């Protein structure tokens, strides 16, 4: 699973912004909650969801009441946040049975929250679970065995009727390249819809799926083209009825992008997404790899099968490494980048907007790596024109080790 620790291995340099980047514009930004790394959780890595005006999310660690522990201890949390009151509450603190390290977003189906935990339980292959937001009652839906049924689910779930669909990064009957699975939320029966095989069909899907016209679409971080050591990643489709997988696009690395780790969004007949690496900028060079780039926003036309790069990040003040999923508000796409964006080195990140019609990107907020948050790994949530998001680090709490110090934040931004 690629997180901030992996990206920190990149060799970063300064660089000028691309011609299609605009400087930061005035936007209303505020940290609405700073995690303390104790009983309230720490290091949120997933996008928030809105259920009746209350925001819900997960934190990868924390939840323990033993506040003397570094980062507060604990296997992670499901939390709620009330934007009107500014209060955060723990809905559920993870224990061994339900797994550890919930890094995926939640899914609301009929008032019950569903998601996955990346590790813990059974053979440490992770779990799928449900939580009642009003009572905190949690239920184990499935424990991944780590072999034939997959392991290490890093992504959230989608629902089609009573069936939940998701991905696992590891484990399978084939080469251990991951799976697409289904889970009946009534009977808890799990089955592998597709088992990634030799790498040409993709490998290690770390992003969630979307459904368009009864077909599932997703990305794999690795596999596909061998221009990259482990493959540059793919865009794929799966027929959930037949289990037939089709590779729609194999990334080539370099200017074309590499490692699409975020879920796609559909706008008409076009899919938009991000790649962590690639784009061709010489300001971000991946150690041990023959390709360069600070990441991209790409588009795939489902009618023609044509892929195009909407924007290539340049590093430096333009920022780098868009890990989270995009959202669309009106004509614009909004997203986050994990690192850079300011002059103080590889910390911070940005919130940005992008006009896909003109390819013009605008920085809306430039994280300073301190009390305002740092390393936004998740996508954004639009609530009445205000964008809510989380940062993995920052917030100023010294309990969570840095750099940068801080257990993460919830922030609000009005463009």
What is the pLDDT at residue 343? 40
Please state, in angstroms and rounded to a whole number, the distance separating the CA atoms of residues 131 and 135.
8
pLDDT at 2 over 70: no
- Tell me, rounded to whole angstroms, the distance of Cα 250 from its chain centroid: 20
pLDDT attached to residue 291: 55
| Token pair in block for residue 142 | 């499935």
- CATH code, 222: 2.120.10.60
pLDDT digits (tens, 9 = 90+) for 200-241: 999 999 999 999 999 999 999 999 988 888 899 999 999 999
- Across the chain, what does the average pLDDT equal? 87
Q: Which domain holds residue 46?
A: 4-414
Contact, 261 vs 207, CB < 8 A?
yes
Could you tell me which of 296, 254, 235 has the C-alpha nearest to residue 18? 296
65 burial type by CB count under 10 A (0-12 exposed, 13-18 middle, 19+ buried): exposed
SS in 3 state form for 322-386? CCCCCEEECCEEEEEECECCCCCCCCCCEEEEEECCCCEEEEEEECCCCCCCECCCCCCEEECCE
Measured CA to CA, the distance from residue 347 to residue 403 in angstroms comes to: 8
- Count the domains in the chain: 1
User: Has this prediction a pTM greater than 0.85?
Assistant: yes
Q: What is the per-residue pLDDT across 289-336, written as a single tens digit (0 to 9) for each?
A: 545 789 999 999 999 999 999 999 998 888 899 999 999 999 999 999
* pLDDT of 22 over the 70 cut: no
Give per-residue pLDDT as tens, 143-168: 998 778 899 999 999 999 999 999 99
Give the confidence band of 6 by pLDDT, cuts at 50, 70, 90.
very low
pLDDT digits (tens, 9 = 90+) for 26-76: 689 999 999 988 789 999 999 999 999 999 999 999 887 666 555 456 789
């Amino acid at each position: 699973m690629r997180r901030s620790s992996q990206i920190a291995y990149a060799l970063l340099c300064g660089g000028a912004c691309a011609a299609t980047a605009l400087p930061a514009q005035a936007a209303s930004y505020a940290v609405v909650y700073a995690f303390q790394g104790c009983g309230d959780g720490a290091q949120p890595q997933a996008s928030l969801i809105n259920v009746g005006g209350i925001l819900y999310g997960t934190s990868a660690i924390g939840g323990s009441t033993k506040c003397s522990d570094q980062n507060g201890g604990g296997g992670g949390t499901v939390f709620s946040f009330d934007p009107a009151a500014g209060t955060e509450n723990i809905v559920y603190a993870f224990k061994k049975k339900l797994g550890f390290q919930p890094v995926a977003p939640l899914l609301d189906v009929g008032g019950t929250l569903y998601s996955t935990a990346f590790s813990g339980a059974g053979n440490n292959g992770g779990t799928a679970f449900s939580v009642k937001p009003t009572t905190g009652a949690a239920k184990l839906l499935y424990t991944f065995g780590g072999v034939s049924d997959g392991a290490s689910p890093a992504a959230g779930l989608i629902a089609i009727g009573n069936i939940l669909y998701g991905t696992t990064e590891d484990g399978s009957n084939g080469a251990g390249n991951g799976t697409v699975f289904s889970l009946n939320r009534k009977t808890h029966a799990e089955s592998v819809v597709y088992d990634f095989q030799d790498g040409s069909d993709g490998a290690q899907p770390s992003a969630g799926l979307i459904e368009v016209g009864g077909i599932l679409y997703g990305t794999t971080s690795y596999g596909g083209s061998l221009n990259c050591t482990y493959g540059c990643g793919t865009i794929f489709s799966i027929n959930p009825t037949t289990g037939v997988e089709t590779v729609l696009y194999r990334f080539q690395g370099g200017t074309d992008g590499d490692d699409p780790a975020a879920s796609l969004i559909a706008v008409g007949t076009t899919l938009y997404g991000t790649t962590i690496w690639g784009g061709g900028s010489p300001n971000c060079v991946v150690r041990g790899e023959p390709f360069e780039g600070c990441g991209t926003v790409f588009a795939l036309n489902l009618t023609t099968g044509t892929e195009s790069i909407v924007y290539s990040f340049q590093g430096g003040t333009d920022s780098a490494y868009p890990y989270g999923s995009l959202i669309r508000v009106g004509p614009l796409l909004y997203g986050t980048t994990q690192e850079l964006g300011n002059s103080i080195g590889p910390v911070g990140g940005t919130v940005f907007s992008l006009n896909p019609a003109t390819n013009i990107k605008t920085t809306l907020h430039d994280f300073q790596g301190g009390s305002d948050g740092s390393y936004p790994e998740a996508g954004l949530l639009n609530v009445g024109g205000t964008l809510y998001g989380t940062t993995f680090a920052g917030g100023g709490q010294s309990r969570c080790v840095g750099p940068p110090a801080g257990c993460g934040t919830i922030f609000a931004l009005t463009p």
